[in-house]
Amino acid sequence: MTSPARYTPVAIVLHWLLALAIVGAFCMGVYMADLPFSPTRLKLFNWHKWAGMTILALSALRLLWRLTHRPPADAPMPAWQAGVAHVTHGLLYAAFFAVPLTGWAMSSAKGVPIVWFGVLPLPDFVPKDPDLGKLLEEVHGWLAYGLAALVLAHVAGALKHQLIDRDGLMARMSLRRS
């Protein structure tokens, strides 16, 4: 069977950079959340914020690229699977923005500025408000777990196409040309 057309190299690189950044930021967030106050915890929080702002920037680039470059045609699959894939991709894109934006808003509401990579101070996204900060912390956490669930569903769908359907769908986003 012939492989479906591939995504552009830029789309492929953005996909995998975002994948690595999201998995890394999620794992770091889960790990650091329960650490006692320490220099290590403060360092990890900064790294997590930097990762979040990088994810936000990469997401904007990826969305801009997607809007200006037609993706390959959908692979042949039942209509319900195509529908699930489209909904999942839409929710992934929404979460790519919602998770870092709520983290940025939480940081602003708690009065803890973000200085991207220790160099670029970002403006406060919302006014300082400790109660709002606590609410946004919960929302950010729930959205992050929702993004993790969507990523797992996306990976499961890709593995199904690779291992069960054997339809070459994963080759469209492969870093290696086949």
pLDDT per position as a tens digit, 12-31 = 999 999 999 999 999 999 99
Beta carbons of 53 and 122 less than 8 angstroms apart: yes
Q: What is the pTM of this model?
A: 0.92
The amino acid occupying position 28 is M
Gap between the Cα atoms of 152 and 141, Å rounded: 17
pLDDT at residue 3 in the model: 46
Beta carbons of 159 and 34 less than 8 angstroms apart: no
Q: With 90 as the cut, is the pLDDT of residue 120 above it?
A: yes
CATH code assigned to 9-173: 1.20.950
Residue 162: burial class (beta carbons within 10 Å; 0-12, 13-18, 19+): middle
Domain boundaries defined on the chain: 9-173
Gap between the Cα atoms of 61 and 55, Å rounded: 10
pLDDT at residue 178 in the model: 58
% of the chain exceeding 70 in pLDDT = 97
pLDDT at residue 168 in the model: 84
Cα–Cα separations (whole angstroms), residue 2 to 75, 159, 168: 11, 18, 7
Average pLDDT (118-139) is 97
Beta carbons of 52 and 99 less than 8 angstroms apart: yes
Q: Which of 77-81, 131-135, 136-140 has the lowest mean pLDDT?
A: 77-81
Q: With 90 as the cut, is the pLDDT of residue 147 above it?
A: yes
